[in-house]
Amino acid sequence: MTRLSAQGLTVRVGQSVICRDFDLEIKSGERWGLLGGNGVGKTTLLHTLAGLRKPVNGRIMLDEIDLNRYRRLPLARKVGVLFQDSRDTFPSTVKETVLTGRYPYHSFWSPGQHEDIDLADTALEQLKLLTMQNRQVDTLSGGERRRLAIATLFLQDPKIWLLDEPTNHLDLRHQIQALDLITQRVKDRDGTLLMVLHDVNLINRYCSHAILMLGRNQTTSGLASTVINKENLETLYQHPINEVTTGKKNLYFPA
């Protein structure tokens, strides 16, 4: 079943065009990686697909229904976004923050149901945050915050996961743990995933498909094994790339 699709999508920020007549079809069970240089518009494209900003042209369909026909709350139960950064002018505790993920499931005022507390404890446990559940968010390290944002997304429990650099601030071990957890969860819920990553090898490891934003509103997308190659990466990064084959996988690193 097609979970997320875009037809003839044109996205613009100010005067610069991020993509023109972009087509995309993501089926359930697929995991997509989004790769592109700095400032090419990965975040903007992700936000557009999440319905957080309007495209200039084109259609976005979620579960074969036009994105514009969704109301905010049902949309929030269907699509979850992990943002690049978070602010804390008026910080709350880790526990309260993770519970905000339940917002789309309750109308108006809710003091926190027991099942929500259980979900929160499970998610905090999975992301190794349970011991700091009463800490203020502004006292956490960058990596701990990142895991908190992922835990919040677990409580939101969407079908379509749009992640903007989920491994930001995470050390090597936590990168793998977090991505293992996320991909497992997406698989369990028969959901789908689209994530921005700067690490080609992580995309190769976790994604079945990839979108490469090559710059000058050129994109190429398809099976990760076909679109991720030395030639495309060199065009994308404007930098020579070395390719090493180990077993079935190809590894890429800057020359």
Partner 1 sequence: MSLLNVNLHSTPAYKLFLLFTCLFILAVAVGLVSLASGPATVSMREVVDILLAQPEGINSQIVLEFRLPRVVSGFIVGGMLALAGALMQVLLRNPLAEPYILGISGGSSAFALLAISAGLAGAWITLSACSGALLTMFMVFAFSRSAAGWNPLRVLLTGVVIAAGWGALISFLLAISPSAMIHGMLFWLMGDLGFSQFNQWYLFLLILAVILAMIFSRALNLLAVGDLQAASLGVSVNWLRIFIYFLASVLTAAAVMQAGSIGFIGLIIPHAVRLLIGNDNRLLLPVSVLSGGILLVFADLLARTLLAPRQLPVGVLTAMIGAPVFLILLQSTSAKQKP
- Residue numbers at the binding site for partner 1 (CB under 8 A): 47, 50, 52, 72-73, 75-77, 79-81, 83, 86-93, 95-97, 99-101, 103-104, 106, 108-112, 116-117, 134, 136, 156
Smallest distance from partner 1 to CB 50, Å = 6
The residue (of 135 and 205) whose beta carbon lies closer to partner 1 is: 135
Cβ of residue 73: shortest distance to partner 1, in angstroms? Answer: 4
User: Whole-angstrom Cα distance, residue 116 to residue 101?
Assistant: 9
Amino acid at 149: A
Nearer to partner 1, 2 or 92 (CB): 92
First-to-last alpha carbon distance for the chain, in angstroms, is 40
Which residue lies nearer to partner 1 by CB, 92 or 208? 92
Closest CB to partner 1 among 69 and 249?
A: 69
Report, in Å, the least distance between residue 206 CB and partner 1.
22
- Cα separation, 129 vs 47, in Å, equals 27
* Contact present, 148 and 96 (Cβ < 8 Å): no
DSSP bridge partners of 251: 244
The nearest distance, CB 155 to partner 1, in angstroms, is 10
Question: What's the min distance (Å) between Cβ of 152 and partner 1?
Answer: 9
| C-alpha to C-alpha distance for 169 and 185, rounded to whole angstroms | 21
CB neighbours of residue 16 within 10 Å: 13
Tokens of 50: 């999440």
Q: Contact, 29 vs 23, CB < 8 A?
A: no
Q: Which is nearer to partner 1, 90 or 188 (CB)?
A: 90
